[in-house]
Structure 1
Amino acid sequence: MKEHWFPLSPAFQRLLFILVLLCLSLSCSGRTWAQRKLPCDVISLNQSESFDCSDRKLLQIPQDISRNATRLDLSSNRIKKLSGTSFRNLRNLTRLDLSNNFHPQKHPLTIENQTFSMLDQLKELLLDSNGLSAVPSALPSKLRFLSLKFNCIKTIRPNDFMHVRLLETIHLIGNCDYESVCNGLVIENRTFSHLTNLASLSLSNNRLIGVPQFLPQSLQQLKLKQNTITHIHQHDLSGLTSLRLLGLSGNCPVCSNTLFFCSPCNTPNGALQIHPYAFRKLSKLQELRLSGNSLDHLQSSWFENLTNLRYLYLSFNRLAGEIANGDFLSVLPGVEVMDLSYNHPGQSSYSHNLKLSRNFSNLTSLKTLHLENYVFSTLHENDLNPLYNLSHLSVLNLGTNFIYQTNLSLFGMFHNLSSLGLSENKFAFLSKKEGVLSTCGCSYGYELNRDRFGPYVHKDRLYRQHLPNIKPKCIAYGPVLDLSRNNIFHINPDMLQGLDNTACLNLSSNSIGDMFNGSEFVHFPKLKYLDLSRNKIYLHYEHAFSELTELEVLDLSHNNHYFVVAGLNHSLAFMENLSSLKVLNLSWNEISTLTHNNISSSSLQELDFQGNRLDIMWKICQNYELFRALQNLTSLDLSYNKLHRVPPEVYKHLPKTLRRLSLSKNRLKVFDWERLTQLPHLEELDLSKNKLEQVACALTSSLKFLDLRHNRISQLAPGFLRGARSLYVLDLSFNLLELINQTTFESGAENYLQQLSLQGNPLHCTCDLLDFHLWMRSNEVELPLLATEVTCDMPVERWGKSVLSYDIEECVNDENAMTFCIITSFLIILTLLVSLTAHLFYWDLSYILDYCGAKMKHHRRLVPTDFIYDAFVMYDTADPLASDWVLNHLRVELEERGERARSLCLEERDWTLGMPVMDNLSNSVRQSRKTVFVLTDGFLLRGVVKMAALLVQQRLVEEGVDSMVLLLLQPQVLQHSRILHLRRRLCRRSVLEWPADASPAAQRWFWHHLKRTIRKDQIGTHTSLHSTYFTGR
């Protein structure tokens, strides 16, 4: 049998396509999509997964975290309460971070009993900054790391850690500091004694008055910084034979220069009192921190048995005398790092020169020495004699000493010095005399105003090996000389001798105003990194820096002093002579004019030109070729140049080797996307923080990273990524995108995106966003902060909620959508067919329907009635045409033809002679089943017609039967009659019209309807709205 295929409607086809795509996305990438819906970053490794949900404004723990999760970070959220069921599905967790969930209204995190009891595998638990008043109960037995820093715990009891005997690290820092209301953390006896695996205990900032007793022998790190401990007794530490690090800094601070609330210790000299043999049992100690304890004397007995000591911190004390004459230095042969900074004797007795004890020469292992803020004016060669023979000394920090005079050549006498810090002194290097600068009896005061890593101990471990505030790139090149933050305003080559091996020279933040001519740095032949930022340099001569043949990095940023002076000539021609230069920083100089139209370099790879005035240079149609001669340039930063538009001529003069171009933070309203084809190797383009409103479809195939953050882009052209086969990262965050269409991004094999950022856009979360939802499901593209920061702006009830908060089932419901589509499609098609058929085949269809209806009904005998006549015919007897039609056509058709004859009552034939007209009329109406009014022109003006109509209406009221039949013999009769129109509305079968075309078929149809109307009672043909009226009820 031949099969017939019926085409589906386009809407139905689209619905089927969406449903199939949805099913495929759910089945193929369901797990990945579920993870991306989470407000967390997920990292999968083998069978374990790590969830980073930090700083996502969460009010509760996400429910869809995988059971395989081993690490969960929930820090910096707004979680208020944790119950016993919070982690019921996360039994495989090994690390849990719940830090900083202190509510903004200062409501502490509530943790119910048994909250963590089900986490059998948990080893690390962080609960910092949560306002907790007690250690949580029922901690997991396998816990090894517990952090409770900066809470409000006032008392620690043995029962708190009774069931966590495997603990190795406990942090209880800052539970009772000076900002809290407690008087000191109370640690009951033997609280930690049963923790035989405990290796690290941090109790800093708790106002402890003594070293806790009965600590386990396994302890390797004990931190008691910034408490109120005034005495270290002989046996306080005697049981800690495994101790490697002991922190006692800040217990008796020098209150004259602290940055926090300070109360001097109530001891004879205000210093921490340490028993001569307090450290005797600590033979394994490697790091000792005694900074900020007002110590003015160091006993050799403290260090005699510390044979493994490597790091000794003694800053912020009163040890100027010990530095000059201390015997303790003779018993520290293994110390590698020593910090003696900020040990000045007092403002009234500043030293003229540096006084070092000859015992410094016994520090044979010393690698790093910090001597900041000793405060002396002159540094002579002999002052450093105790240090010259230290073959391992590589870092010497003499910063913030207000040194006015020295000869740099004396530092050349060190064997292995790689980093010399002379920052924040008073060097000027004006003139030379007898190899040592002339002395000056300066008796100036000073203020301590320096941003340090911390008030006492250097927290950064890199500080052990390097100078502070030195850029890592500078250190990587080799030996460092730091002369930043001095009073140098002129470079005298004779003053910079003796350090020929220097590879990095930092002269930033001085007042240097030289016009360099190629002679200033002749004594630095190996210099590779030169930092001259934040000075007043005037670039004029083309031979500037030409003596630095190996220079690779030159920082000239923040030297705008002369660039903003009108009328001066500025030249960058010196770059052509620097054959090794790779990086040049000219940022924040407000360069608006140059004497040369272009700058030339065959070696330069990176140019930082932000914070200048290219808008002025290019506005006057000059310097379009400024960067053309940079033959090997790969990175160009033109941000902060106040550009409204990049002239088209500029693009063709940009180096073809460019891989990175930054135009961020300008005022660009338009961008010539098609010009990117002139940069065939461009991989990274930064246009963030401009005023762009649209993105064209002209992205080059080489582009890998495109940053369009913080613009005004409101729509994306369909397929604007088509052809960008290398684009992996696209950032569209913080724009004005409201809708993302189906064709905006490519799908399947044409999609090369790996990361797409959309947070901060006013998205309209309606069904118009369905296509984007389906695209997200079917493409494994990373969308950062999708569940928390990609939010809805409209409709109002979804404002601020995630785009994932509304279910796409609202737009595509399988059963309901299909049913609705089928029904509506059927109704539309049926309506169209019926309307078209009725219009073309009205008479034929009506005849067929009536004929079929008559055949389907069984013939039944009519119930006899009391009527004498079937119909009383009222017509205009004075009209010959009307009389002829009634007598010769109507009468013949009803009485003489058909299966059953219908008797008629006619005025001219059946009325009784001599009887009043009123009586004849009344009898005819009552004795007839129907009263037929044959309407012609002028007939309605006769009074007898009106009387007959009233009698018919009276019969309707009395008997509930409507017997009136109106027969329009002429089509123009009563065309504008409201009564006739109302009659047609209420009883359309009782109004008949003689066919105008007089065709035999039409006449036969007319007689058929007339006979049926006479035979059938009219009450059944009324609408239900009027049925009660006609029945008289």
Structure 2
Amino acid sequence: MKEQHWCPLYTSFQRLLLLLVSLCLSPSCSGRTWAQRKLPCDVISLNHSLAYDCSCRKLLRVPHDISWNATELDLSSNQIKTLSSSSFWNLQNLTLLDLSYNFNPQGHPLKIEDQTFSMLDQLEALLLDGNGLCTVPRGLPSGLQILFLRYNDIRTVTPEDFRDILRIKVIRLSDNCQGSVCSGTLDIANHTFSSLTNLTNLTLSFNRLKVIPNFLPASLQLLKLERNLISHIQQHDLSALTNLSALDLSGNCPVCSNTPFLCFPCNTPNGALQIHPDAFRSLSQLQELSLSGNSLEHLQTSWFENLTNLHYLYLSFNRLVGEIATGDFLSVLPFVEVMDLSYNNAGQNSHNLTLSKNFSKLASLKTLHLENYVFSALHKNHLEPLYSLANLSVLNLGTNFIYWTDLSLFEKFHNLSSIGLSENSLTFLSKRVDALSVNGYGWGYEPDIDRYGPFIHKDQFYRRHLPNIKPECLAYGPVLDLSKNNIFHINPDMLQGLNNTACLNLSSNFIGDMFNGSEFVHFSKLKYLDLSQNKVYLRYEHAFSELTALEVLDLSYNKHYFLVAGLNHSLAFLEHLDSLKVLNLSWNEISTLTDKTMASSSLQELNFQGNRLDIMLNEGLDFNHLFRELNNLTSLDLSYNQLRHIPSEVYDNFPKALRHLTLSKNGLEDFNWTMLTQLPHLEELDLSKNHLEQVALTVSTLNSSLRLLDLSHNRISQLAPGFLSGARSLYVLNLSFNLLELINQTTFETGAENHLQQLSLHGNPIHCTCDLLEFQLWMRSNEVEIPLLASGVTCDMPMERKGRSVLSYDIEECVKDDNAMAFCILTLLLVVHVLLVSLTAHLFYWDLSYILDYCGAKLKHQCLLQHTACVYDAFVMYDTTDPLASDWVLNHLRVELEERGERVRPLCLEERDWMPGVPIMDNLSNSVRQSRKTVFVLTEGFLSRGVVKMAALLVQQRLVEEGVDAMVLLLLQPQVLRRSRILHLRRRLCRRSVLEWPATACPAAQRWFWHNLKRAIRKDQRATHASLHGTYFTGR
């Protein structure tokens, strides 16, 4: 049955007191810190900078409460409509302001009034990308150094636009006239940039410029003019840019036969970009040149003769097959380190790769990209010009539709560490079979190049590495990329010559081998093997056993044979891979295995997502111990396994060394939280995107090492009080996108007991009522980061607050409402009281006076009696000469009445409390008078003593004088006074004052005896005979 919410009720006074205590005792969260947390921004303070990240918050205006000393402000990707000088009136310390992508959904551009930024004297960077601006904003601050105006609708720029920002260093004006929405061109007036003598970086790409702007400043170091309509580069267009280090002219005359974008061929001979022989002669400082996508067929040597500092040359997407074969231009590029000659095939296919001998003169070349040359076979002599290049480390021959090659040819390279043969047609079956393919069987396929744009391969990563290679693969050493070929069988004889390979990528082939430990005998140093997206059949115990150094094995997306019924699937090979650390078995839909357990002493990470553990863990299949023998496993991912319920035995058999456990996206309806006690080292637990409705009552009692708990995207509607009590190690708790309506303060710890650093709550249907008061106070008094607190943690009820931040609900409203209600009730009670007193006094004055006087007198008399008579609760008379009686009184009766259960006031005992040297009669009289009751412990021979008779007479005297029966008879021995008529009479008149110690040693009977004794001592006995005696002696 679903538990009820824990909703403690607070009175008005308690709420007010709680608010005052929270505000007074939490100075660390008051002032600026709490104000920052109420903002819809993330605040990052580092050294002397204070950055506000308010991006993607659906803001309609600039927040007012941003601190005056903010240095960076990111307002990108919001819905701000208008900006004026008042928007930033108190932010004069800003150095960076990002207002990109505030183009609202209605299609209206961002409106920026003149002089909006003029007061921001410290501003150095202003980003205004994607705002639909039609003009450059007026009144920019004079100290501005970086200005972004990309993806706008600016059609004209003039010198007036930049006259106030003479210190500007970077201007990016790309993408202002691109696509079908712009039929003209970006109009750049003469001398627009000439006065900007500090300008070093200018981007004018995607603007349909037809010529290079004139009068560019000589200070320029980077100039980007890609994807314009420039068809001619004249001799003096770039002659003044003597400091230029990077020039991008790619995509101005593209080959339009296969471009996936609006393409305009150049109206020139052959449609190629026309470059004057001396166009680049003055660019002696140039380090990077991109001429990709310009339909070039010839490269003039004069272009590169004076480029003595050129390191990066991009020539892809041209028609340079002939130049690659002759290569006169290569003789003047001794310092080039990265060269891209990919996609220069103009439609003709060749059986051989023909490289110019001048490639051998590229002494500094480190990376060569030669994709889509399209040739059928790769022989040793084809790469002969490259063998002498001592610095060449990366060779990319992908997408060439190569049918055959001998990998041993790469042994002739001196320093080759990355070989790219991806997206070819290699099979590696035998020389005869591959020869048939080369001679025409299956040849003649025309590749369909579908690349977005002619300016690919230009990021920093691509300069030094192969494309689409995982960084973790590169980290292990030399790489051989054979992915996306036609390999369906591993032939060891065809995979020779690359013994130093550390990472082998065979993904996305058609490999369907039953590996038996002989396939990779020539890769003795292999550490990373990628066999993902194949048809691998895992059957033999010694599969991959030849790879003694293997650390990472990727077998994901190999579900083909796992779906075939009746086949045996074995993972026993893991026992023989002593160096294996990471195993990826994801997305194989594994539902059965021959072996019931996976055993490995070295495996540390196992990815098992996208399988069918729900079938394997069915009762009777005996896979509950599947992961038990993975002794050193620290990370286990079991997401996407359709697990609705996990048997308890599975929890018990998780590896004890686990640190990271992922069970997300399974549809779990319950989770055995007590299993956390079985995982003493668990640090991260991901239970997101399931169907959980409840969580553990107290996390700390289950696990003391848990640092991160992700419970997002579940159905949790309540959290128990003390949920995080004692959770000293838990730093991150994600409760976003659940069904939480109310969050109590008692759920989380406060003060020094609170160790939580981040709490995610956005996406919950929170009810913004006064019951949320205590959580608001908790947020104020604890510096816990709550992502999207001001924008994502919103109210769901009441309806008038729906969608608004929980911070918009003023907690003082609760206090004020309760105060008003309390004051109203008190006033009403006061009025009613006055009326009742007045009416009663008028009608029943004498009756009330008599009753009050009588009650007062009785109360005074009773208080006097209690004050004078009860020093002791009981005076115990017993035979001090009888050792058994003394022992029973001191060690049983005394202990029971003074030390256990509902205790009485001290007992008066002859051996303990009588004053030495005082006469016996005085001690006896004082003890009887000062005790509520006198208890006679009766034993044989005790009644014959005179002191007993005297004590009985004193008790009788109290009965006569005070009308109180203070005698309690306790028969310790059953034969005492058996035939006494007086005892029988007392039992009739006052039976509760006569008690008998149980004859049998029954615990229940003894407990009942002690209960009756305590009651007899405490209760005043005014028996009938007491009244009779009092009447007789007093004459009343």
Same fold? TM cut 0.5: yes
The 1:581–1:70 alpha-carbon spacing in structure 2 relative to 1, beyond 3 Å, is same
What amino acid is the match of 1:684? E
Deviations 1:831-887 (A, max 9, x none): 5798699889962368889xxxxxxxxxxxxxxxxxxxxxxxxxxxxxxxxxxxxxx
The 1:845–1:804 alpha-carbon spacing in structure 2 relative to 1, beyond 3 Å, is farther
Decide whether the 8 Å contact of 2:428 with 2:434 is kept in 1: no
The 1:518–1:141 alpha-carbon spacing in structure 2 relative to 1, beyond 3 Å, is same
The 1:722–1:378 alpha-carbon spacing in structure 2 relative to 1, beyond 3 Å, is same
Distance 2:94 2:584 in 1: 48
The 1:206–1:410 alpha-carbon spacing in structure 2 relative to 1, beyond 3 Å, is same
Match of 2:782 in 1: 779
Deviations 1:530-566 (A, max 9, x none): 0000000000001000000000000000000000111
Q: Where does 1:381-396 land on structure 2 (aligned, <5 Å)?
A: 381-396=380-395
Decide whether the 8 Å contact of 2:374 with 2:399 is kept in 1: yes
Decide whether the 8 Å contact of 2:258 with 2:450 is kept in 1: no
Match of 1:465 in 2: 464
What amino acid is the match of 1:788? S
Deviations 1:474-522 (A, max 9, x none): 0000000000000000000011000001000000000000000000001
Secondary structure at the counterpart of residue 88 of structure 2: coil
Q: Where does 1:310-459 land on structure 2 (aligned, <5 Å)?
A: 310-346=311-347, 349-432=348-431, 439-441=438-440, 442-449=442-449, 455-459=454-458
Match of 1:857 in 2: none
Decide whether the 8 Å contact of 2:22 with 2:780 is kept in 1: no
Secondary structure at the counterpart of residue 431 of structure 2: coil
- C-alpha deviation, 1:181, in angstroms: 2.5
Q: Where does 1:83-98 land on structure 2 (aligned, <5 Å)?
A: 83-98=84-99
Match of 1:688 in 2: 688
What amino acid is the match of 2:593? L
Match of 2:301 in 1: 300
Distance 1:757 1:103 in 2: 28
The 1:837–1:158 alpha-carbon spacing in structure 2 relative to 1, beyond 3 Å, is same
Secondary structure at the counterpart of residue 792 of structure 2: coil
The 1:509–1:27 alpha-carbon spacing in structure 2 relative to 1, beyond 3 Å, is closer
TM-score w.r.t. the length of structure 2 is 0.79
Decide whether the 8 Å contact of 1:474 with 1:504 is kept in 2: yes
Q: Where does 1:564-583 land on structure 2 (aligned, <5 Å)?
A: 564-583=563-582
Match of 2:646 in 1: 646
The correspondence for 1:812, drawn from 793, 811, 815, is: 815
The 1:834–1:628 alpha-carbon spacing in structure 2 relative to 1, beyond 3 Å, is farther
Distance 1:582 1:845 in 2: 98
Q: Where does 1:22-101 land on structure 2 (aligned, <5 Å)?
A: 22-25=23-26, 28-101=29-102
Match of 2:797 in 1: 794
Secondary structure at the counterpart of residue 709 of structure 1: coil
What amino acid is the match of 2:591? S
Distance 2:149 2:734 in 1: 38
- C-alpha deviation, 1:179, in angstroms: 3.2
The correspondence for 1:746, drawn from 749, 754, 757, is: 749
- C-alpha deviation, 1:13, in angstroms: 4.3
**Residue 477 (structure 2) pairs with residue 474 (structure 1):** no
- C-alpha deviation, 1:264, in angstroms: 1.1
Distance 2:239 2:285 in 1: 12
The 1:430–1:819 alpha-carbon spacing in structure 2 relative to 1, beyond 3 Å, is closer
- C-alpha deviation, 1:345, in angstroms: 3.0
Decide whether the 8 Å contact of 2:23 with 2:30 is kept in 1: no
TM-score w.r.t. the length of structure 1 is 0.79
Distance 1:210 1:28 in 2: 59
Q: Where does 1:786-935 land on structure 2 (aligned, <5 Å)?
A: 786-813=789-816, 817-818=818-819, 820-822=821-823, 824-825=825-826, 827-828=828-829, 831=832, 843-844=844-845
Match of 2:546 in 1: 547
Secondary structure at the counterpart of residue 44 of structure 1: strand
Match of 2:200 in 1: 199
- C-alpha deviation, 1:440, in angstroms: 2.5
Root-mean-square deviation (CA, aligned residues, Å) is: 2.0
Distance 1:729 1:838 in 2: 66
- C-alpha deviation, 1:830, in angstroms: 7.4
Decide whether the 8 Å contact of 1:407 with 1:436 is kept in 2: no
Match of 1:164 in 2: 165
- C-alpha deviation, 1:86, in angstroms: 0.9
- C-alpha deviation, 1:456, in angstroms: 1.7
Match of 2:760 in 1: 757
- C-alpha deviation, 1:720, in angstroms: 1.1
Seq. identity, %: 70
Decide whether the 8 Å contact of 2:399 with 2:421 is kept in 1: yes
Q: Where does 1:80-159 land on structure 2 (aligned, <5 Å)?
A: 80-159=81-160
- C-alpha deviation, 1:443, in angstroms: 3.4
Distance 1:79 1:625 in 2: 57
Decide whether the 8 Å contact of 1:406 with 1:436 is kept in 2: no
Q: Where does 1:523-562 land on structure 2 (aligned, <5 Å)?
A: 523-562=522-561
The 1:11–1:444 alpha-carbon spacing in structure 2 relative to 1, beyond 3 Å, is same
Secondary structure at the counterpart of residue 464 of structure 1: helix
Distance 2:751 2:27 in 1: 15
- Gaps of at least 5 residues in structure 2 are 1-9, 851-1036
- C-alpha deviation, 1:286, in angstroms: 0.3
Match of 2:888 in 1: none
The 1:382–1:64 alpha-carbon spacing in structure 2 relative to 1, beyond 3 Å, is same
Residues paired across the two proteins, number: 836
Deviations 1:235-266 (A, max 9, x none): 10000000000100000000012121112100
Match of 2:616 in 1: 617
What amino acid is the match of 2:807? L
Decide whether the 8 Å contact of 2:254 with 2:454 is kept in 1: no
Distance 1:670 1:434 in 2: 57
Match of 2:627 in 1: 627
What amino acid is the match of 1:812? V
- C-alpha deviation, 1:828, in angstroms: 3.9
Decide whether the 8 Å contact of 2:176 with 2:206 is kept in 1: yes
The 1:531–1:281 alpha-carbon spacing in structure 2 relative to 1, beyond 3 Å, is same
Secondary structure at the counterpart of residue 159 of structure 1: helix
**Residue 715 (structure 2) pairs with residue 715 (structure 1):** no
- C-alpha deviation, 1:433, in angstroms: 5.7
What amino acid is the match of 2:178? D
Deviates more, 1:440-449 or 1:579-588: 440-449
Query: Which structure would you say has the larger Rg?
Result: 1
Match of 1:604 in 2: 603
What amino acid is the match of 2:403? Y
- C-alpha deviation, 1:295, in angstroms: 0.1
Secondary structure at the counterpart of residue 147 of structure 2: strand
Deviations 1:62-120 (A, max 9, x none): 00000000100111000011012111100000010101011111100001011000000
- C-alpha deviation, 1:23, in angstroms: 4.0
Secondary structure at the counterpart of residue 563 of structure 2: coil
Distance 1:26 1:805 in 2: 22
Decide whether the 8 Å contact of 1:313 with 1:457 is kept in 2: no
The 1:833–1:644 alpha-carbon spacing in structure 2 relative to 1, beyond 3 Å, is farther
- C-alpha deviation, 1:27, in angstroms: 7.5
Distance 1:337 1:429 in 2: 30
Distance 1:650 1:845 in 2: 83
Distance 1:575 1:804 in 2: 54
Distance 1:27 1:518 in 2: 64
Decide whether the 8 Å contact of 1:401 with 1:424 is kept in 2: yes
Match of 2:673 in 1: 673
Secondary structure at the counterpart of residue 86 of structure 1: helix
Distance 1:758 1:151 in 2: 36
- C-alpha deviation, 1:16, in angstroms: 2.0
Decide whether the 8 Å contact of 1:361 with 1:387 is kept in 2: yes
What amino acid is the match of 1:766? T
